[in-house]
Amino acid sequence: MSEDVDMEIREREEPMREGSLDLSAQNRVPASIYLDNQATTPTDPRVTEAMLPYFTEKFGNPHSADHAYGWDAEDAVERARAQVAALIGAEPREIVFTSGATESNNLAIKGAARFHKDRKPHVVTCTTEHKCVLESVRRLEREGHRVTFVPVLADGLIDLDALREAVDEETSVVSVMAANNEIGVLQPIDEIAAICREKGAYFHCDAAQAVGKIPLNVRETAIDLLSISGHKIYGPMGIGALFVRRRPRVRLIAEIDGGGQERGLRSGTLPTPLCVGLGEAARIAQAEMEDEQRRVEILTERLHSSLLAVVPGVHLNGHPAQRLSGNLNLSFEAVDAASLLKAVPQLCLSTGSACTSASVETSYVLQALGLDADLAQGSLRFGVGRFNTEAEIDEAVVMLAKAVSKIRDDKQG
């Protein structure tokens, strides 16, 4: 594989040295290669097909209880609720539909903390959580809650000793994600859940990146609250869910006031097509998870090993083994990531979380790992997914190797 890539690099560079490159095609961008599946996934055509009737002939309001259009929509929503529940080992009535993981995280953390503030005014989270979790906790801090941000080790795994020390009898909720959105590290959620149970705190898990990609069971892991995002599992944008445990019962204060839909936890008319799409995406993920995980893992390893073989000075960020298949966060020595992205416009990659990509600052996740500033600035996130092919992986390696070599040569020259 590496010899083939190396040969192709040499073959592509030869015409440029000879001056025979077709200038009319030089600035033409070929079809893009999408490798940003942590930011969002394309909607699976099977999901789109399942949704379409609920935009047209089955357009009823699922809360209209007086006619067939409403009944059909309600049936579709409840079927989707059951599909989402089955994916994580929950009961359908424990699933609350939301607009996405950001809303789910806000509802879980703020709802639990505010309900228990008088008796349990303490909230614990991790320094590498998603922005919406960190900002929710900071909001609670401004409201008078006591908060603790637990650090991670150099490999991105949470410091379990520090977590044990942080959680006390006044802790209402502990929020730690299952899989990190930037570096793909899988946190030890079984151990985290056990600490929470021992101390009598709720365990909230932002599982937006993990659901549908690795087996998760809220019963076996004793998770009290779990957030899901539709567009991370090949479903539509604008829909998500929050698992809220019923036994032992988790108590929340709602964020949205209105008609009391979703057991009073999330008022508002449910978008039937989007609920159907999330349900179908969950069904497909459950049925195909094992095969897809193996396939994505092979492609990811192909990408990683090929880059290591043809590009010197490449470093993997985060734990080398305890990580999500499909996620690679790599730093390139003596290369600025923004410059590298500009040099390969055909490749759809990111320098970090899509939710903070407007910032020019170094990723706070990489800073938390203690990564050297120059390496952090040369970091790219690769997200391999369901619809990527071997040919795309090989082409991406060729493009990156050529671009990195040119950037380094220009610096030296």
Give the count of alpha carbons within 13 A of 12, CB side only: 15
Question: Does the annotation mark 132 as catalytic?
Answer: no
| Residue 285 one-letter amino acid | A
Distance, in Å, from the CA atom of 148 to the CA atom of 120, rounded to the nearest integer, reads 13
DSSP string, 361-398: SPPHHHHHTT--HHHHHTEEEEE--TT--HHHHHHHHH
DSSP string, 10-40: HHHHHHHHHT---HHHHT-----EE-BTTT-
Distance, in Å, from the CA atom of 181 to the CA atom of 132, rounded to the nearest integer, reads 12
Q: Which two tokens stand for residue 248?
A: 């032992």
Q: Cβ(197)–Cβ(167) under 8 Å?
A: no
Cα R_g (the chain), whole angstroms: 23
Catalytic residue among 126, 132, 205, 355: 355
Single out the residue of 376, 369, 383 nearest to residue 327, CA to CA.
383
Other residues' Cβ atoms within 10 Å of the Cβ of residue 15: 11
Distance, in Å, from the CA atom of 362 to the CA atom of 4, rounded to the nearest integer, reads 35
Give the catalytic positions in this structure. Answer: 355
